[in-house]
Structure 1
Amino acid sequence: MSALTWIAAGALVVWLWLLLGQGFFWRTDVRLPRTPPDEHRNPPDGHGNPPDQHGNTSGEHGPAPGEGPGGWPSVAIVVPARDEAAVLPASLPSLLAQDYPGPAEVFLIDDGSSDGTGKLARELADTYGGLPLTVGSPGEPEPGWTGKLWAVRHGIALAKSAHRAEFLLLTDADIAHEPDSLRELVRAARAHGLDLVSQMARLRVTTGWERLIVPAFVYFFAQLYPFRWVNRRRGRWAAAAGGCVLLRREAAERAGVPEAIRHAVIDDVALARAVKCSGGAIWLGLADRVDSVRPYPGLGELWRMVSRSAYAQLRHNPLLLVATVAGLAVVYLAPPVALCAGALTGRPALLVAGAAAWALMAATYVPMLRYYRQTLWLAPLLPLTALLYLLMTVDSAVRHWRGQGAAWKGRTYARPSAAP
């Protein structure tokens, strides 16, 4: 057997393991449970005890502190925003229109925008009404803080001064929510005793480049952080999707966030890890009714979106970079190369190993394509998409080595070890 045949056989073994041994990451059925109609009025208490016919909750623990029988806790919705005037008309009205039975308020933090984001937010609130809106501006971040987490810190501080909200909904300015989104998030957190509930918003998939790259972005994320493993109470895996995170205020204080993760470029994963390490229960899944409205019409926009944090994901470690590039080449690129080489040279073992590995790869991608309502003909193109991600990762490392760091909207962030 040639070296390429051994590599193709190794790739086949890896895909068999990924199919069965990586937390069934490829399945897309980890979703927020829907609420029966009667629970919309009388939700379960914080320990999962359903309400009785009178709306009272009972059980050995009784109602959770601050959640009276049949009541809904107060929520502060914190929206960090920097130069988001283009997407705000499609997202902010959906937050203001939340059909939430309890007290809720929106805090939009204008992080040094130059496009009138704050002014537009006030105009939208005047036009659409709904939940009360407070627009704040924290000024430039202090050394060691990323802009988003600096804005989140300011939003949480404003929420505390206004009222002691029991929950914080941290959501990005490009995320649109269906009217029952907040209600369902709170219901899930209370019914299952969760400290953090996060949904991976359905990203926009309209252009050809978006179809090729966006579903794979979520697929690779789930492969790195299998949702079923993340949701285990005692597991070591932790992750969240920063576009939609419902967080108990007590859990945030216990974990010391956002101060404890102030330098994190991949802030959602850092947040989930901090909450779980402090004893909190977390949940992550795919969204049905939470959508990103941000367009990525060309390859350049998608490239910057991935490359700005890819090397940070590898902890800025050159050895991890080399291992990742080698792993992507063996697992994703070797199978189609082996199939073509086997067909051209008449080597059945090479052809079969390459074809089987490629088929398994494509099969695991099909559920994600269906979730995004895309043609299944994109599944065999996953090696091409993986090649693009490999190049984006290398480009991310090169940018860091050149001192450009994680650049985003006019700011460049140093490695954590270099930050004050």
Structure 2
Amino acid sequence: MGDTARVSAIVWTAAVSLAAWLWLLLCQGFFWRTDVRLPRRADPGDWPSVCVVVPARDEAAVLPSSLPSLLAQEYPGRAEVFLVDDGSSDGTGELARELAHKTGGLPLIVTSPGEPPAGWTGKLWAVRHGIGLARARGPEYLLLTDADIAHEPDSLRELVAAARAGGFDVVSQMARLRVESLWERLVVPAFVYFFAQLYPFRRIGRKGSRTAAAAGGCVLLRAETAERVRIPDAIRHAVIDDVALARAVKGGGGHIWLGLAEKVDSVRPYPRLHDLWRMVSRSAYAQLRHSPLLLLGTVLGLLLVYLVPPVSLVAGLAAGSPAAALLGGLAWLVMTGTYVPMLRYYRQPLWLAPLLPFTAFLYLLMTVDSAVQHYRGRGAAWKGRTYARPDAVSDEG
């Protein structure tokens, strides 16, 4: 009787998991497709002025691979770059000046805002300083891009053309992250896959949709919109600043586009599991709004959606239950199939697709660790700074 009940429980759990995957496949904005790319548009008749704002803290290791690509932009209109050195200790600012002197190209201004006041994250304080200087130039658009992002020469041109033609307040591209080490191959494509599952790109670009997100490495923002919705002041304490920016813009009636990049790449390496673990865990619990209930729901959801299929397949075969094995196998097959497009986008071997449950389990552990670090007072730590939860900061500033 007990064995029958256990097998029955496995069958029903596997059935629920398969139903969840069928819903994700058909009803979650076709998140698994990777064909949401920057719209190809005709060049505008007049090219608006653009100011590029690059917050940078201890980025000397990656700057030689990224900054020259920004300075070399082939943009027909007026454009200049503001690199905001956020208290670096590795000579980031001086290196930026040297690179600009060697490579030429767009004008570069290197500045520093000083330490952020209470209630501000360092990156957003740097962005605020850069936007403040840029506004004196009266640009129509601001390009917010990270110091580890390399752009092909026509990247800015295509971003502006797409924004103008589509009437977008924000055009954002998720930079193609580096995938070279074994751990990068296992974790990085899944990171983008999970992000798209949470924020389906097609829904973000649809007017009237409440889904809002951006990719902080590459955000072209209409300057008038930034001023109207008070960016970055309105999101000054946000650890996940790109999603917060998108929500503020969409909440103010703005139109957003987000898709995968073809000409924007991250040059930052994450060669070890430890490096990737820090990248995810530093903000995972903030994504859950520091809520124990959301954390519990996330853990249970990851177990049901990603771990139940392979476990049901193995348990069904071991217990002689064809139903459990079939349901688990079908759920695993759907999961694997939805992951294939992302692996192709990252030019990775398809044998990695069935390993997604293992990677999801790693993300589950990273998320739990993020919560543990938060309650130990080390949550949202990055480059020597630890940020408080939003409801613990002052509204001053």
For the superposition of Structure 1 and Structure 2, which TM-score range results when normalised by the shorter chain? over 0.9
- Give the letter for the 2:374 counterpart: H
Query: How far apart, in 2, do the equivalents of 1:406 and 1:337 lie?
Result: 33
Note the alpha carbon deviations across 1:155-186, whole angstroms, 9 max, x for none.
Answer: 0011123x101100000000000000000000
Match of 1:244 in 2: 218
Match of 2:122 in 1: 147
Identity among equivalent positions (%) equals: 76
Tell me whether 1:326 sits opposite 2:332 in the alignment.
no
How far residue 404 of structure 1 moved from its aligned partner, in angstroms, is 1.1
Note the alpha carbon deviations across 1:228-282, whole angstroms, 9 max, x for none.
Answer: 0111111111000000000000000111110000000000000000001111111
Match of 1:48 in 2: none
Q: 2:194 aligns with which of 199, 217, 220?
A: 220
Note the alpha carbon deviations across 1:35-56, whole angstroms, 9 max, x for none.
Answer: 4xxx4xxx23xxxxxxxxxxxx
How far residue 33 of structure 1 moved from its aligned partner, in angstroms, is 2.0
Any gaps of 5 or more consecutive residues in structure 1? 45-69
1:2 alignment partner, SS class: helix
Tell me whether 1:33 sits opposite 2:39 in the alignment.
yes
Q: 1:197 aligns with which of 171, 196, 212?
A: 171
Tell me whether 1:381 sits opposite 2:381 in the alignment.
no
Q: 2:254 aligns with which of 280, 295, 318?
A: 280
Query: How far apart, in 1, do the equivalents of 2:40 and 2:268 lie?
Result: 26
Tell me whether 1:97 sits opposite 2:103 in the alignment.
no
Query: How far apart, in 2, do the equivalents of 1:406 and 1:192 lie?
Result: 35
How far residue 343 of structure 1 moved from its aligned partner, in angstroms, is 1.1
Query: How far apart, in 1, do the equivalents of 2:165 and 2:133 lie?
Result: 28
Query: How far apart, in 2, do the equivalents of 1:5 and 1:400 lie?
Result: 37
Query: How far apart, in 1, do the equivalents of 2:11 and 2:104 lie?
Result: 64
Q: 2:84 aligns with which of 103, 106, 109?
A: 109
Match of 2:269 in 1: 295
1:60-209 matched pairs, under 5 angstroms: 70-161=45-136, 163-209=137-183
How far residue 34 of structure 1 moved from its aligned partner, in angstroms, is 2.8
Query: How far apart, in 2, do the equivalents of 1:24 and 1:191 lie?
Result: 25
Query: How far apart, in 1, do the equivalents of 2:343 and 2:323 lie?
Result: 30
Match of 1:413 in 2: 387
RMSD over aligned Cα, in angstroms?
0.7
How far residue 4 of structure 1 moved from its aligned partner, in angstroms, is 1.4
Match of 1:24 in 2: 30
2:80 alignment partner, SS class: strand
TM-score normalised over the length of structure 2: 0.97
Query: How far apart, in 1, do the equivalents of 2:351 and 2:240 lie?
Result: 32
TM-score normalised over the length of structure 1: 0.92
- Give the letter for the 1:372 counterpart: Y
Query: How far apart, in 2, do the equivalents of 1:2 and 1:409 lie?
Result: 50
